[in-house]
Structures are given as C-alpha cells and as structure tokens.
A and B are shown apart, each in its own frame.
Chain A
Amino acid sequence: QVQLQESGPGLVKPSQTLSLTCTVSGASISTPGYYWSWIRQPPGRGLEYIGYIYYTGSTNVNPSLKSRVTMSVDTSKSQFSLNMSSVTAADTAVYYCGRDVWDSWNFDLWGRGALVTVSS
C-alpha cells in the first residue's frame, strides 16, 4: 500500500532553515490528481496547513507562511521536500507529510510525523 515517511533533522537552531523530506512508497509521486502536502502540529495544539506541491513542481503555500516556505519535488527519487527559513521556537512542531486528493481536497494519507524542535 502507499506509504509516506518524513525524514530530517530533529533539532534546528533559531534563525536557521528547517529542511524535511517525505519519501513516497507503493505508488508513483507523478500520478495525476494528487497534491503532496505538508501539515504541522505544535505540541499539544491543533493542525496547521503549510502547503502542497504537484509533481510538475507547481506549489501552493499557506499565505501566513509564504515568505518563509519553499517546496521541491524529485520524481526520480519519489520524494518531495519542505524548507522553512528563519525559524523560531514557534515553529517547533510535529511535521506531517500527506497526500491531498484533487477535486475532493482531503488528506487521505499521512506520514507518521517528524518532531522538529527549534532551540539553540
């Protein structure tokens, strides 16, 4: 079955860039109709949508994070990535990658999540 797995550093210093990668297995990341997404959840708090990338490279980012977020996709490795610059303690969260279904706009698959702590 299709699985998603986040990977990346668990600790990032303030003002630096957070980088995470999501590896998709069991299906092609180039399948039309799916947007590959990032969602985060600060400890003890609710979910926040970060954005998505399509296999063509087109992106959509939450306006509140747009100035700090870039995303990329590597179809040959079946991976997509998130970069968030100028991080602060407020960016400490579990970061999930997920699959967003076009024309239904729901996240039908999620990775297990990766905790990223921003601290010096």
Chain B
Amino acid sequence: QSALAQPASVSGSPGQSVIISCTGTSSDIGTFNYVSWYQQHPGKAPKLIIFDVRNRPSGVSSRLSGSKSGNTASLTISGLQAEDEADYYCSSYTNLNTHVFGTGTKVTVL
C-alpha cells in the first residue's frame, strides 16, 4: 500500500487561504469516505482536525475544512494564521481493512 501523495510544502501570507491535496486510489480515498486530516507541530503528537472527509472535532477552528472528489481529498485553511504553521497529514481507510497516511505537507506562514 503506497502512501497517499501530498505536496511537500505550501505557503501563504497571513489572511490568505491555502489548499493541501491528498491523492490516493480507488482502493482508499476513491471508495471510502473515511478520510481524516492531522496537524502536527514540531515535537508534538499529531492532532485530529478533520474526520469523515469534512467533519471537524469539537474545538477545531472553522477555518479548517475538508472535501473530496474522486481519488483526491483536500484540506483548506482559510484566513491563515501564524499558529497554522505545522505539518499536515491526510489518512484514509483502505480495502485491506487498514489505514494509509499521506506523505505530509509543511505549511509555512510567510
């Protein structure tokens, strides 16, 4: 099972929006609506920010939103803030009854 493909890095100025793509296959993202996103600050454990493609856990900013089309999922960060600077990982359930993570994207706030 290959890792889901994400851009290595994206950047934006404060207040702007950035979109992180996550491309899989028909064995994972294309078939299941079990896509989740995680935010990881340096030296910290990942934190769930989106589940089931587009749902936010309680306490997660509404500036974060998720979507999916075909084999590709996306995370949009609107109104970029300094605290959004972190690594972001997508994940999907697969037809092998397992999980696969994305390669990770570093978000830089200029």
Contacts and interface: CB of A to CB of B under 8 A. Distances in A.
B51 A47 contact: no
A60 B97 CA distance: 8
Interface string B61-104: 00000000000000000000000000001010100111111111
Interface stretch (B10-18, B19-27, B40-48): B40-48
B101 A106 contact: no
A100 B102 CA distance: 17
Contact of A110 (B36, B47, B93): B47
Contact of A96 (B1, B45, B51): B45
A107 B96 contact: no
Contacts of B57: 108
B109 interface: no
Interface residues of A, number: 22
B98 A107 contact: no
Interface residues of B, number: 25
A68 interface: no
A60 to B, nearest CB: 6
A77 interface: no
B96 A63 contact: yes
Contact of B1 (A64, A100, A107): A64
A63 B2 CA distance: 12
A94 to B, nearest CB: 9
Contact of B101 (A46, A60, A105, A108): A46
A113 B98 CA distance: 21
A110 to B, nearest CB: 4
The 8 closest A-B pairs by CB, nearest first: A106-B36, A105-B93, A105-B34, A106-B51, A110-B45, A49-B99, A47-B101, A46-B104
